[in-house]
Structure 1
């Protein structure tokens, strides 16, 4: 089974790129972030024509998350992160597919640091960790997947010394990521490529993609129940080079069938 995540950076404006990638890569499950479209403007007809069912939570202008599945039933669990009823930002959607809990997230950016946006990021992470701890305690096969807006290690960014006071690389958020791993969540890319320089995002400015001056923001973390099923993983970095593409590239893993 192939499972992928892709921050599309505007699903309607970049729909041709998304559909082209879906046809080329043919993932079974896809988590999308940054739809930048209200609920009623999600391109369901085109997604269905590509062979996928979908659930989504849109938001005008910003944010938005979705889960797509090919030839599989999607059972929605929740479409917001528990813990703050006043938080109206569309950054989390959770579903069950093939007996797995799929947690699609678009974690807040947090910049500028310091400030209220960074405070919101930390509070969101706190709520998120509470949910992930529940999933671990229930011993469920679960996947945390999406744009974490966290650079975990120096190897995950071009010239890390420039990012010390950026909300993507602050000590607080990197510590939170490590705490997820200590609880048993496996970083798929780092498990299979422990020391390789791998990026998932390249800015549009300064020819960052051409220079490979990127960072790794998009992650797929597996609960202990799924560790042994991880077979392969990768980043479709060539998609970032397509015309009118997102500044992120799709990230994917392949899991062995359940025994």
Structure 2
């Protein structure tokens, strides 16, 4: 089972690219972030023509998440973080076969010390409680999405800039991510790649993609029960080379069987 995560940065703009990528890459399950579409505008019929079923949680202009599954049912769907009062469409979960998929579009946080940064930390704390409960019910769990956190210095192009006092790499954000991992989750990418310099997001400015000035903030996390079945993981840079590309590239993990 090939499971992928892609921040498409507007599905209205990127639908043709998503369709091309689904045909070529052929993932079994995909979590999308930043769809930026109200639910009645989600292109589920167009995706069904490619064999993908969809569940989605969206809003106009901002945020929005979805899970697609190829020729598989999406069961036990959960929209939003249970018990957390949040008007932003940032979380969705569903079960595909016997694997629980949780798709997250983590808050950016704007800057350290702002209300948006405080909201990000509250949001991540709520996710921690939710995932602890999900793991109790679903040992086979994959948590994926745009985490807006680079796990360590290998995941940034310039650690001197992206440091403990910078948004996306601050001490508190990385500690919040570690709390999630400490529940019994493993960074699928790091199960197969130890080196630095492989990224999933590049700013549109300063020719960042061409110069590989990026961050790895799109993650695929697998539970203890799936760790030994994660036979491959990586970043598919190809869609980032396309005209009018999203600023993110898809991240993926492949599970045996």
Q: Normalising TM by the smaller chain, what interval?
A: over 0.9
Q: Deviations over 1:117-169 (max 9, x none)?
A: 00000000000001111233346211111101111101101112212333211
Give the structure 1 partner of residue 232 of structure 2.
232
CA distance in 2, matches of 1:68, 1:211: 32
Q: Deviations over 1:27-75 (max 9, x none)?
A: 0000000001111111112111121010001110000000000010001
For structure 1, which segment, 155-164 or 200-209, has the greater mean C-alpha deviation from structure 2 after superposition? 155-164
CA distance in 2, matches of 1:200, 1:139: 28
1:131-142 residue pairs with structure 2 within 5 A?
131-138=130-137, 140-142=139-141
Q: Decide whether the 8 Å contact of 2:121 with 2:176 is kept in 1.
A: no
1:57-96 residue pairs with structure 2 within 5 A?
57-85=57-85, 87-96=86-95
CA distance in 2, matches of 1:179, 1:198: 23
Q: Return closer, same or farther for 1:236/1:242 CA change in 2, 3 Å cut-off.
A: same
Q: Decide whether the 8 Å contact of 1:81 with 1:92 is kept in 2.
A: yes
Tell me the TM-score normalised to structure 2 length.
Answer: 0.96
Q: Decide whether the 8 Å contact of 2:185 with 2:222 is kept in 1.
A: yes
Q: How many aligned positions are there?
A: 256
CA distance in 2, matches of 1:139, 1:2: 19
Runs of 4+ in structure 1 displaced over 2 angstroms?
Answer: 135-139, 163-167, 179-183
Q: Decide whether the 8 Å contact of 1:17 with 1:244 is kept in 2.
A: no
Unaligned stretches of 5+ residues in structure 1: none
Deviation (angstroms), 1:221: 0.5
Q: Deviations over 1:161-211 (max 9, x none)?
A: 212333211100101112222222010001110224210001100000000
Q: Decide whether the 8 Å contact of 1:139 with 1:225 is kept in 2.
A: no
Q: Please state if 1:149 is matched with 2:148.
A: yes
Aligned to 2:30, the other structure's residue is in SS state: strand
1:17-96 residue pairs with structure 2 within 5 A?
17-85=17-85, 87-96=86-95
Q: Decide whether the 8 Å contact of 1:111 with 1:166 is kept in 2.
A: no
**Cα-Cα RMSD:** 1.2
Q: Decide whether the 8 Å contact of 1:57 with 1:65 is kept in 2.
A: yes
Unaligned stretches of 5+ residues in structure 2: none
